[in-house]
Chain A
Amino acid sequence: MFKNLLNKTEFLVGLTLVVMSLIIGIINPAFFSIANLFDILRSATVIGIFAMGVLIVIISGGVDVSFTAIGIFGLYVTVKLLKAWQFEGSVVVALAIAGAIGLVLGLINGFFISRFKLPTLIVTLGTSALFQGFMLFFIGSDYIRDIPAGMAKFSMANLVTITQVDGSKSNLHAGVLILVAAAIIVFIMLKYTMLGRGIYALGGSRESAERAGFNIRKIEFTIYGFVGLLSGIAGVTFGSLMRQANPFSIVGTELDVIAAVVLGGASITGGRGSVVGALLGVLLITVMNNSLILLGIPSDWQKAVVGIILIIGTGLPAIQNRQAERRMNATLAE
């Protein structure tokens, strides 16, 4: 049974995270302070929400790079709308509007991918440029610093506030609730619904899934629409946390999210992956980005270190795959 556990990628990722945390913590005990842990959770929130959507896409065998463009589009348009209406109410309205916008944009992705059977990477590359270009040219490219009241109030919504010995306060932001909600929804979707089965099947083998009777088109539409929805929500969360709407932000971080999901055990060719793994991957990437400096690695070299970890993190499963294939082929050989 222990061997079984060792083979599960999620376990390995979790182990890596624990080991890395221990190492960092030993070198610099400040890592384990409540303030730092809250910090890590806060940084991980937006990436985490995006990652839940990207996870679904990757399990289905696709790659989406437009989710950041959808996120910022949702944030920017929502902020502009709410300011135009002088809306002062709850942030939930902002989240809903952004979610709806994201849903529509995601369905556009779904349309091109499922109707014309186009490669997902290229389609989302195109729509990413499309959405961002459209937003910047037709809607506006100015930096908005005074966000609607609801969002501003939300940016200060803290679940837990701890006052340190020296009087400084550390807060756990309520945004984590959104992440937790998203994670639960995606978890239930993947594990307990036919849609989830269909997503795994589609990622494993499109043809087999079709033959088994899954409605691939409907699944694809749903996947990309849902990712859009989550991305819109992530965008507004980001805007609230940052207390501004900068139309040039978020885009450019796609590869961080994809890396997190892949490191968490999702296979890029599809058919494998889990919410737990993705969350662990997000934590791993966040800890790396936040805490390498605590290890004494100068910030100039951090990106290179992340690159090496990425290569190792994708190389090891690849080598494992090869060995497994070789073993399988050896037994099947005449």
Chain B
Amino acid sequence: MIEKETNPQNDGTAISHKEPLFWGFGQIKFDRNFLLLLAITIIIFVVMSFLKPKVYPTSQNINSMAFQLSEVGILTIGMMFAMLIGGIDLSVNATANLAAIVSGLTMIKLMPGGLTEGPMGLYILLALIIGISIGALCGLINGILIAYVGIPAILATLGTMTLFTGLAVGITKGSAVYGFPEPFLYPGNGFFLGIPIPFIIFILLATIAFIILERTSLGFRIYMLGTNPKASKFSGVNNRSVIIKTHIITGIMSAVAGLVILSRTNSANADYGRSYVLVTILTAVLGGVAVSGGFGRIWSVVLAIFSLQQLSTGFNMLLFQFKGSNFFRDFAWGILLLLVMVINYYQSKGKQKFSFRKKPPLT
């Protein structure tokens, strides 16, 4: 899928991070995976427009899709970070819900009855900061459990997922939090220069992720850790620090996703988005992220998000007369995931990839 250049001296030493990892330094790098996904995205659009010419290629539909894909998209970016270091984060959705609930409750406590005077902007800002801090805190907890206590990522995030959801249920007593001030609802449902704001937030976060992953040393260390933890440790990478930072990033992304959902739906509850975790993993894998870590590029994942959203909307439109097109979509997701994995298998066989990982891949 993706090839890394080895150190030209080929003596096994780490690449100095001044050398470009991928060719095409400075502009969008084109690798086969990206082009393939680009083709898939375009093909799906063309096919769907052909099948439903009156509804699909309309600006109304495109905007609707842009709104929908942003929530899961931001969550997927977070999941991608966790997967790149060879792990996983099952708690992304729980973190999103918890952050949304705490943030929402802050707004309600500070502005009972929705007052519309001066401090409101400040209060909303405070609530947003609190929400994102919760996300960072959740990520920190995950990072500590994985890096310092040594719990494998699946188990650690399984536990924290239960804990965060449990906290959310405890705080809200199971009911939903709702009723937020008008200006807060605007970003979730509004447009800026004709583009849905959640979509802008999503692309912004994807760009930030791109900068982190492919332009900073942290990103470099993330890829190194994901490829081979032992080698990265002996190359001087502080594995623990990278794990913690990565999970904090994932936590922040989850929190932002939660806040976007809060803004769009005007409510927050502990149970929202139960199937989201599966979708984010599917999307990441579709976008080329390796489950064992070390591989995966953000723009390919973004394209995967576009493709899956198109498919989801497409199924809805085509199967609209049968009840439960959602069920067919889940069925399709399952087949798709398996198909992609099998294709990856044949691809990697063709390239004779060697993996010198010491610990087995994340099952």
A residues at B contact (CB < 8 Å): 61-63, 112, 116-123, 125-134, 136-137, 141, 206, 252, 255, 258-259, 262, 268-269, 298, 300-308, 310-311, 314-315, 318-319, 321-322
How many Å lie between the Cα of A206 and that of B363 in the bound state? Answer: 11
Q: Does B342 contact A (CB under 8 A)?
A: yes
Chief secondary structure at chain A's binding surface: helix
Contact of A137 among B162, B170, B331 (CB under 8 A): B331
Chain A contacts for B155, CB-based, 8 A: 262, 268, 314
Contact, CB under 8 Å: B338 / A130: yes
How many residue pairs, one in A and one in B, have C-beta atoms under 8 Å apart?
159
Encode contact with A along B293-325: 1 for CB under 8 Å, 0 otherwise.
000000000000000000000000000001110
Q: Does B341 contact A (CB under 8 A)?
A: yes
Encode contact with A along B321-344: 1 for CB under 8 Å, 0 otherwise.
011100111111111111001100
Contact, CB under 8 Å: B361 / A259: no
How many Å lie between the Cα of A321 and that of B149 in the bound state? Answer: 10
Contact of A304 among B170, B174, B332 (CB under 8 A): B170
Chain A contacts for B362, CB-based, 8 A: 119, 121
Q: Which residue of B lies closest to A122 (CB)?
A: B291
Contact, CB under 8 Å: A310 / B159: yes
Count the B residues whose beta carbon is within 8 Å of the partner chain — how many?
A: 53
Shortest distance between the CB of A210 and any CB in chain B (Å): 13
Q: Offer 13 A-B interface pairs, CB within 8 angstroms, sorted by A.
A: A117-B345, A119-B361, A121-B154, A121-B363, A126-B337, A127-B334, A127-B338, A132-B330, A133-B333, A137-B324, A141-B327, A300-B169, A307-B166
Chain A contacts for B174, CB-based, 8 A: 300
Q: Which residue of B lies closest to A306 (CB)?
A: B162
Top 5 closest pairs, chain A to chain B, by CB: A133-B331, A130-B334, A304-B166, A307-B163, A303-B166
Chain A contacts for B161, CB-based, 8 A: 255, 307
Chain A contacts for B337, CB-based, 8 A: 122, 125-126, 129
Q: Does B17 contact A (CB under 8 A)?
A: no
Chain B contacts for A137, CB-based, 8 A: 322, 324, 327-328, 331
Question: Provided the pairs A127-B334, A133-B327, A134-B331 are in contact, do residues A307 and B162 lie with their beta carbons within 8 angstroms?
Answer: yes
Question: Provided the pairs A130-B335, A319-B149 are in contact, do residues A314 and B342 lie with their beta carbons within 8 angstroms?
Answer: no
Shortest distance between the CB of A273 and any CB in chain B (Å): 14
B residues at A contact (CB < 8 Å): 88, 145, 149-152, 154-156, 158-167, 169-170, 173-174, 274, 278, 281-282, 285, 291-292, 322-324, 327-338, 341-342, 345, 359-363
How many Å lie between the Cα of A110 and that of B145 in the bound state? Answer: 32
Chain B contacts for A131, CB-based, 8 A: 334
Shortest distance between the CB of B324 and any CB in chain A (Å): 6
Contact, CB under 8 Å: A62 / B332: no
Chain B contacts for A121, CB-based, 8 A: 88, 154, 291, 362-363
Contact, CB under 8 Å: A255 / B162: yes
Shortest distance between the CB of A270 and any CB in chain B (Å): 8
How many Å lie between the Cα of A314 and that of B165 in the bound state? Answer: 18
Contact, CB under 8 Å: A133 / B341: no
Chain A contacts for B169, CB-based, 8 A: 300-301, 303-304
Given contacts A121-B291, A259-B159, 10 further A-B contacts (CB under 8 A): A62-B363, A63-B154, A129-B331, A132-B330, A132-B331, A137-B322, A206-B360, A268-B363, A307-B166, A318-B150
Contact of B159 among A119, A134, A311 (CB under 8 A): A311
Question: Provided the pairs A206-B360, A307-B160 are in contact, do residues A122 and B341 lie with their beta carbons within 8 angstroms?
Answer: yes
Chain A contacts for B341, CB-based, 8 A: 112, 116, 118, 122-123, 126
Contact, CB under 8 Å: B173 / A258: no
Q: Which residue of B lies closest to A137 (CB)?
A: B327
Contact, CB under 8 Å: B327 / A136: yes
Question: Provided the pairs A131-B334, A133-B331, A303-B169 are in contact, do residues A122 and B162 lie with their beta carbons within 8 angstroms?
Answer: no
Contact of A123 among B159, B160, B166, B338 (CB under 8 A): B338
Contact, CB under 8 Å: B274 / A302: no
How many Å lie between the Cα of A307 and that of B156 in the bound state? Answer: 10
How many Å lie between the Cα of A319 and that of B147 in the bound state? Answer: 11
Shortest distance between the CB of A187 and any CB in chain B (Å): 24
Shortest distance between the CB of A166 and any CB in chain B (Å): 33
Contact, CB under 8 Å: A322 / B150: yes
Most chain B CB atoms below 10 A, which of A122, A252, A306, A319: A122
Chain B contacts for A130, CB-based, 8 A: 330-331, 334-335, 338
Chain B contacts for A123, CB-based, 8 A: 338, 341
